[in-house]
Structures are given as C-alpha cells and as structure tokens.
Structure 1
C-alpha cells in the first residue's frame, strides 16, 4: 500500500484539480461522504448517535462541514464549532459553510471562554467528536485558543475521530505537537500518510481507514511513489515458489557464521530462523573452540562446520571465503561475533571474496566502516542494524535517528548502497534505489535479546532460495512480525521468548500462504 508525504498528497490533489479538471468542491464532497460512510461502518450505524464537529479554516475544516451537512440532513443531533471566523476560511470551506447554513444548521463561531464552556457541554452530551481542525499542512505546535479546544476534546469521554490526520500530527514525519488530538479512529483521505504509521504519531492516530475520494489513477502516477506500507498482500506476493518436485538443493543452502565464546546462543537462534525460512540446507559455522564448548543445543536439522579461532571468535581467511562459492547460496555474518581485529579481517574477507547474498547483523555492523570493501552486489547485501547500531554507522545520536528513521536509512544507503533494515518498533526497509517500506507492527514482546538473530537467519534463508535482497528482507521482516504477533496473542508480551516466536514462524508462513485477512488499514 502506497504511503505519501504531505507534499506528495498536495501534488496529487493539484494534478487532479489543475490537470485532470476535477473541481476541488467535488473532492471535498467525496471526502465528507466517505468519512460519513466510515463512521457508519465503525460506529455500528449512525442512528441514535450524537455528534460534535470541530472545524478549522482550511480544507480539513471544509471536509468537516460536508460531514456536518449530511448528518444534519439525516436528522442526527449535531453541534458544529468553528474555531476561526468565517472570513478566514478557505474558499471551499466557506462555500460549504454557506450550504450548511442554508440547509438550516447554524455552527457556533468560537471566540472566547464562554464558547469553550459550550464545547465542554456539547461534548458531555455527544457520542462522537470529529476533529476537522488541522490537516496535512500542519507542523509545529498548536498555540493559543485552538490548543485549548483540542485539550477539551481530548478530555471528553467519547469516541474521537480525526479527518485525514489528527490535529497536531505532522503528516510526513509523525512528529506531534505538545497538545495533539488523541483519535480512536482516523479517516485519512486519498492515500495514507506516512506520519500515521511512525512514532509518536502512531499513538495518536488510532485505527486508520483510507477513504477513496475519487482521485484518478493518473494523478497518483504523476507523482513518483517513494514509500509503501508492508502489508500482508505485499508480503504474500514475495513468497518463493515451493514446487513439490523440488529437493533440498532446490531450496538453497545458507551458511550462518555466528557465535563466539561470549555469545554462544546467537548462532543457534539464527539457525531457528533459517530452518523455518524454507531453505533446503542450513549450516552453522562456529569458531572451533566455541563448537567444542557449546552449551546450547543445536537442532539435528543443522549441519555444523568449524573454523579457525582467534580471540574467541572467527578468523576467516580469503581462501576459506572463496571456497564457499558453489557450496552455499547465501551467508549470514555477525550474530554473537563480539569485537576484535580478527572479526574485522573476517568481515573484510567476506566483503571482498564472497559474491553471493550476504546478511550482516549485530557485531558485523560494529566492525563495518566507511573503509570496508564494497562487497557483493548491493541488491544482495542486507544490513540489519537496530537504532544503536545505526547511530554508530552514521555517527549521529540515537535521538536523531528516531526523529527521522527514513531519512537516516536513506542517508546510509546513499553512502553505502545495500538493502537496509532499520529495526525498531516501526521497522524501515530501504532498497538501493532509496524506496522505503514501513513495517508498522510494534510489539513489546520482541524487545528482547535474540530477536535480531532470528530475523537475520530468516532473511538469510530466504536469500538462499533465490529471493533478491529487498524481497528477502521485506518477507523476512513481515514473517518475523507476524510470528511475534502470534506469540504475543497466545503468551503475552511479558513472558514470550524468541525461541517461542521461532516456533510460530511455520504458522506465520501458513497464514500468508492461505490468504489470511488483510493486515493494513481498512479502505472505503
């Protein structure tokens, strides 16, 4: 599902109005009607419900006035509050204000403390408040009188619905004002906005529905798509073929170079992901000393191969790496490596002499530097940093990465072309061309050690089956999130373990193969 920035949405609207010739009042009418239809669906019908609508001066306010007219025409109890004087309204909003008045409903034009009290009383006797104050053009802070209006709406004990984006939420970044409308439901217009799926905005959007307001496909095509939401439909389209006449060689061989004396379990957890990826053969490579003293059980499905050890970890030579060609189809390196000069040289050997798919995770990222060799085709090189690792890779504070995760991921990919998986509550996947995908399925149960090892093994196993780096990363991220959601539903976020998440990957695959219900926003 395509996601848009505020600027992209404006460009799409402008193309529809100026090039295609769609009147802006028609789009506003469509928007109001679709909001009404969504309310009817999500509120279990409109009959018997009482509404308060808070309108601003822009086209978002105009959308709210259209909703108000249709509620009034259907004889539903209604209060409309204008936060700005009529002369300040946009032309389209002013036109719909006139129609509403001519239809017999007189909005309250707010101006002082008495009107704030009238709003409180109206909300006390309403079932739903609709926020049509600020739209996608908003950024910064809500100040003065409008801030008091939003605060009063947030205090009310009723259903809160936002049109397009909650007032106070920046549509492109997800940043929020100190006082932001706290929606239970957001009906976003035309296309979903990125900020509804990024934190902290995600916490204010509630359930998101996308309203088709009649914008023509040519208008969307006129504005290049640069962002997408990773939904079940997208993930299902990436599933590799699984012919029944295939054999273990058909489905690829992945080598996991993982583990050290300090972190013995990392490689074992990575094998759990690789085994459940569908790969035909999974080999766990271990430093010889680690293999001899391993305290974790390795599943019997896994082949074990030992390598020379230095400083308690890997010491791979160029000749060893060259020998991987023709034996393995994809490599995973980094989980549980630890630090040291031998690891740096091992990574250098992999990047210089391994031509196939390569996933770099954890400690491999910590020794990855600007001076490191370019390595394999960037379309088959997948890096999977978390926020702290991304901070070290870019030399910027974690807070700066959190404030603009898409920008940070794109900045790194521009420097070092690859497929980048920036792991966080909302995971960002950016391909070598800079196109960004969001997996907005936060799960506190995955906030524990080993989650990244499992994901790295899963992506590596998908790479081994012939998927390109971006496809493997997207499918792996979705399946990991899906299995995490299943574990949370069955076990709870507090006590679920990563091993249990791994055990639910088969069910996640099955749900995807069998076409379970859509995972993205609803559409109407």
Structure 2
C-alpha cells in the first residue's frame, strides 16, 4: 500500500480534477460518504438522535466535515457545526458544502472569540461524537489561540473523535505535532495513508486508521512518483514464496553467520536460530573456536564452524583463513551480532568485502567496526543490507541521535543513496530505504520489542529470506514486517513488559503459518 506526503496527495487530487475531469466537489462528496460509512459501522446508535459536533476549518478539510455533517443530519443524527473561521473565509468546495448544510437547516456556531469557547465546551460534553475537520495534512504552522484551547478541550473530554483525513495538528509529512493535536479514536484517510499516520507521534494520535477510496484513478500513486509504502497481513501474505513440495535443505538456502564472542554468545544464537526459523535450509555459525562447545550445547540444529580466536573468546586476524573456506558455499552472510569491540572486526570485514560478492546482512558490532572506513560499503560489488539502530546510525553518518530520530526517513534514504546499499533504520517505526529512493515504513511491532537481542533476530530473519531467493531489499522489508508481527504475537501471550527476544523466535513459525493461510 502506497503512503503519500501532503504534496504527493495534492498532486494526485489535482491530476484527478485537471486530467480526468473529476470535480473536486465529487471527490469531497465521496470522502464524506465513505467517512459516514465508517461512522455508521462504529457508532450505529448515533442515527437515532445522537448528538454530533463537527469542528470545521475553512479549507477543504472543513468542507469534508460539513459534507459529513449533512449526511449525518439526513440520517437522523443531531448535528452542530462549529466554524473556527468567519463564513466569508470559506471558498470553493468548502463554501459549497457550507451553503448546502445551511440550506438544509444545519445548525452553525462560530468560534472566533473567547466567549465562544464556553459555548463549544457545553456542547462537547453533551455530544456523543466529535468529527474533527479543522486542519488537514497541509498544516504548516503551530496551532495556537482559540483553536489550541478547543483542541485541548476535546482531548480532555470523554467524547470519541473521528478525524477527517488526519487529526488536526498532525504534520502529514513526518507525524510531528504542530503545537497541539487532536487525539482521535478513528481516522478516515482518503485514497492513501499519509506518512503522518504511520510515523510517531502522529501514529499515536491517529487511532484506528481507515483508508477509503474516493474514486481517484488507479494509477495515481505511480503517476506522481510515490515511492513510500507500507504492508499489512494480506499484502505480506501475497508476497510470500511457496515452498516447493520437492524442495530439500539445499533448495531453501545456506546461511552463514559470523557472530559471537565471550559474554555475547546469545546474540549469535538468536541470529542463527532466527535464520532457521525463518525458513532457510541450512545455517552455519562461524564463531570463535574456543566457544564452539557453548554453541553446540545451546543449538542442536545449527552447525558450528570454528574460527581462530587464539583462545581469547573473540575473532582474531587469523580467522580470515577459516572464513575463506566457511563462505565458499554460502548464499548469504549475516555478520556482526555479538562480535564485540576487541576482535579484528574491521580487517575481517575488509577481507570479506574485497574477496567475495555474497549478499551481506550487517548489524551491531559489524556496523561499529565499519564506521571507521565507510567507503568499504560503497565499494562492495555485492548487495549489503545494514540494520542500525539510531546510535549505530549516528556513528555511521556523523549525525547526532537526536537528528536521526527527528528525520529518520531523510537519514536512511540519504545514506542508502550515497553508499549504494539498503538501509533498515530501526525504531518505533522502522524504515527500509533503497538506494533508488523506495521507502518502506513498517507498521508492525510494539514497545515490548525494545529488548536486548530483538535486532539479532531480525538480522537472522532477513538473511534467511535472502537465502530462500528474495531480493535483499524485499528480504529487508518482509523480514522487518514479519519480525514485528512476531512481536505482536508475543505481546498477546506475555504482554510487553516481560517480552524477551527468545519469544520472537517462538512466534516466527506461527506468523509464517498464519500468513501462508491468508495466501490461500
């Protein structure tokens, strides 16, 4: 499912109007009808005299709200529209719908002076539903003055809110709060979800998102060059490859993992087991030779390949000789989890990138080592997927963590383009950026996944999918989504507080099972 910015959505609307001759009033009417359909489904009792408040701005979002109010009124609800701008400010289709609403006997109150806030407050606490249509996705400055007070009042009331297209005060491009924002129970988005619905904090204010069609041409997103997308279970299921009935362990790919050191053996185990539970046929862990007994006692199904560590518990430069043989038959390499800072990581990575063209999934300490010589990434002749958290990304880019958290899409896409690699920037909404500009925003997962080892599971899962034949970018996208769904499954069983990375491993097979059942 494509995800738009406000500018992209504006161009989509204009194209529908100018190239296809679909009047803006028709798009507005379709948006209103679709929103009313959602309201009918979620709040059916409203149509037996329930009280609805429409909060309307003077732009197209306000016009949508007034059209919604008209339909609700005609279906039996008692509707009051509160206008935050004088009537002469309403123009175009917003004015058209204001006039129709008034001709049909719709009740209007102005909120343009301090005393009007008291009237609004009294109505809010008598209402059964609030429809928020003050500002749309194009908001560019902070909410202040009377509207700030009104939004604060709505948020403090117990009355449920349905937001029209996006909660007022949420920046449609990046999810920022513009001073203050409506906190909605439901948001009805027209045509496509917007970035501000998916990125935090906007995601938290959106409530349940309903994306509804309004008769836009089917090729709209491609025509204006939308490159951002997200997934849901049905879309994910349709992208899964069937496992051939005559397949064998070689069919499903060979994953090599170079990971682990004394004190961080768990990271290597999580990555290796995720690669197996993600569906790959064979997984071999290349690890410090002195730690092989630990790994063999921990993992029955994963093979271990001892690499020279001089009995230090971490890989030394002498490990390169073994790595040459270790990688010769592998389809993909996952490297980094638990390697540690003491090992000769940079030289080992430099050797691998110089001598091989295997697809590589790079995480954790591998990223910390290569941050000292980033040009190795851009010079590599194979495919690289990196999976940094903001701290690791800060070391790679030289930006502060605060800058990265504030602009994650820009950070990931810029680094992907400059280095010619795939970047999976982890966060509350993980982002997968392709060097050609495609951007995936992940919609799965939860705060319980903020626990040690969660990223190691992700690394192994992505490697597993590459080994099975998915492109590195698809593997990063699908692995990110499935990893998050495993976290969602784990939350259902154990809650968020006590969730551990091993719970994600337990849930991976169940996630795949359910997704394949949706595929049909």
For CA contacts below 8 A with separation 6 or more, give which structure has more relative contact order. 1
Contact 1:254 1:460 in 2 (8 A): yes
Aligned to 1:16: 16
2:82 matched to 1:78?
Answer: no
Distance 1:296 1:86 in 2: 75
Aligned to 1:307: 307
Contact 2:175 2:202 in 1 (8 A): yes
- The alpha carbon displacement at 1:225 in A equals 1.9
Distance 2:440 2:381 in 1: 20
Aligned to 1:484: 487
Distance 1:483 1:507 in 2: 8
Aligned to 2:351: 349
Query: What root-mean-square deviation, in Å, do the aligned CA atoms of Structure 1 and Structure 2 show?
Result: 1.8
Secondary structure class of the residue paired with 1:391 = helix
2:408 matched to 1:405?
Answer: yes
Q: How does 1:454-493 map to 2 (within 5 A)?
A: 454-493=457-496
- The alpha carbon displacement at 1:76 in A equals 1.4
CA change 1:353–1:320 in 2 (3 A) is: farther
- 1:464-518, Cα deviation, whole Å (9 max, x unpaired): 122210111122112211111111101111112211220111101101100189x
- The alpha carbon displacement at 1:374 in A equals 3.7
Gaps of 5+ in 2: none
- 1:288-347, Cα deviation, whole Å (9 max, x unpaired): 12325x378422111111011266422356554443454111111000011146111011
Secondary structure class of the residue paired with 2:375 = coil
Distance 2:360 2:36 in 1: 50
2:391 matched to 1:388?
Answer: yes
Distance 1:511 1:479 in 2: 11
Aligned to 2:285: 284
Secondary structure class of the residue paired with 2:81 = strand
Q: How does 1:349-388 map to 2 (within 5 A)?
A: 349-368=351-370, 369-372=373-376, 374=378, 376-377=380-381, 380-388=383-391
- The alpha carbon displacement at 1:85 in A equals 0.1
- The alpha carbon displacement at 1:358 in A equals 0.9
Aligned to 1:495: 498
Contact 1:321 1:353 in 2 (8 A): no
Contact 2:143 2:178 in 1 (8 A): yes
Distance 1:142 1:469 in 2: 43
Secondary structure class of the residue paired with 1:254 = strand
Aligned to 2:329: 327
- The alpha carbon displacement at 1:139 in A equals 2.5
Q: How does 1:42-441 map to 2 (within 5 A)?
A: 42-44=42-44, 46-48=46-48, 49-291=50-292, 294=294, 297-309=297-309, 312-315=313-316, 320-324=322-326, 326-340=328-342, 342-368=344-370, 369-372=373-376, 374=378, 376-377=380-381, 380-441=383-444
Distance 2:75 2:241 in 1: 51
TM-score between the two structures when normalised by the length of structure 1: 0.94
- 1:3-32, Cα deviation, whole Å (9 max, x unpaired): 000000000011111111111111111111
| Most deviating of 318-327 and 65-74 | 318-327
Contact 1:169 1:180 in 2 (8 A): yes
- The alpha carbon displacement at 1:432 in A equals 2.6
The count of corresponding residues between Structure 1 and Structure 2 is 515
Gaps of 5+ in 1: 518-524
Distance 1:233 1:353 in 2: 40
- The alpha carbon displacement at 1:136 in A equals 1.2
CA change 1:353–1:324 in 2 (3 A) is: farther
Contact 1:161 1:183 in 2 (8 A): yes
Contact 1:265 1:296 in 2 (8 A): no
CA change 1:220–1:238 in 2 (3 A) is: closer
Q: How does 1:513-524 map to 2 (within 5 A)?
A: 513-515=516-518
Aligned to 1:522: none
TM-score between the two structures when normalised by the length of structure 2: 0.95
| Most deviating of 315-324 and 507-516 | 315-324
Aligned to 1:520: none
CA change 1:244–1:407 in 2 (3 A) is: same
CA change 1:443–1:353 in 2 (3 A) is: same
| Most deviating of 403-412 and 325-334 | 325-334
